[in-house]
Structure 1
Amino acid sequence: MLKYLERNIVFGMTRRGQRGPVPIYRQIMASIKADVAAGVLKPGQALPKEDDLAKQHDASRLTVRKALALLREERVIYTQHPKGSYVGPEGAPQIRDPWPFESVAAQVTELIRGGEYEPDTVLPSENEMMETYGVAKNTVRAAMALLREQGWVYTVPAMGTFVEKRDKWNKEDLSS
């Protein structure tokens, strides 16, 4: 029996020190389950990113991935690639912080709705948007792609991105 306990304690060790007889991935699982039970994590809520969980638990990403895989098997969480992992059940509406490009798109939408940008007027350049919102070029491009998809703007190559006519705006967004 003593050899069994010693072996498990060794398996529970990391480079930074001893953790005890419970493997780290099991500790991560228990922590997430406790947060779900306590209501800290609600159904549909996004879990922290793997890197953040690894730092929080002083573990490797591989260990975090093992914990998340087992939580998926137990149906405590579900994963939607590339969006991330969410608290189950899988049908629950997703609750997460907006991505930076979604925040930029939402702010531009509000400016359009508020009349700051009229239909057929050109929006600021990528560089101006980068400076205004403090984001990278790819974030601005993703925001513009989302706005095009939602019907708020259109792009004319070599001329810029313009505000769409009101009848093309996303009707669902107008009712909110």
Structure 2
Amino acid sequence: MPIYQVIVNAIKDDIAAGKLKPGQALLTEAEMCATHQASRLTVRRALEVLREADVIYTIRADGSYVGPRDAPQIREPREFEKIAADLAEGIKRGDYGPDQVLPSQLELIEQYGVAKKTASAAVALLREQGWVYTVPAIGTFVTSRDKWPNIR
């Protein structure tokens, strides 16, 4: 049996056994490669077969999920989302006040032990959510309270 088919069967078995539920995120391609000791091309072939059978669906740059498409998505937060959430909590607690500078990208890299891309993505998410604004070559600052997202 081809390796891609072994992967397809394993995912279908996990769905049938309830280990994977509708809307749940699958492992990333890299994680599947490591788990199944398969090439990325082989994993992509397995995912293609599962998509064609409407067992899963893929959202570009986000990942693959167990179908159907209308099921609420279930996935663990990514590292940049965890960092952004941690910083947002700090803002809510008052660790960083309006117009106060957040830690620099280098400080975030050191504090969280992450890559530059991850630190950048965390700050971009905070900006997108309305917690912060960035002044190029100066820094990233907390927005005024009236611009914060709705907090419950």
Q: Which has the larger radius of gyration?
A: 1
- Percentage of matched positions with identical amino acids: 61
In structure 1, the partner of 2:39 is 60
How far 1:31 moved relative to its partner? Answer: 0.8
**Higher mean C-alpha deviation, range 49-58 or range 31-40:** 49-58
1:78 matched to 2:71? no
Which structure has more relative contact order (CA 8 Å, sep 6+)? It is 2
In structure 2, the partner of 1:38 is 17
In structure 2, the partner of 1:89 is 68
| 1:81-136, Cα deviation, whole Å (9 max, x unpaired) | 11111100011111112222111111000000011111111112221111111112
1:120 matched to 2:102? no
CA 1:129–1:57: 2 relative to 1, 3 Å: closer
How far 1:76 moved relative to its partner? Answer: 0.6
Aligned counterparts of 1:122 and 1:106: Cα–Cα separation in 2? 17
TM (norm. structure 2) is 0.93
**Higher mean C-alpha deviation, range 126-135 or range 31-40:** 126-135
| 1:110 partner SS | helix
In structure 2, the partner of 1:156 is 135
Task: Point out where structure 1 has 5 or more consecutive residues left out of the alignment.
Answer: 1-21
| 1:79 partner SS | strand
Q: What is the total number of aligned residue pairs between the two structures?
A: 152
TM (norm. structure 1) is 0.81
Task: Point out where structure 2 has 5 or more consecutive residues left out of the alignment.
Answer: none
CA 1:50–1:138: 2 relative to 1, 3 Å: closer
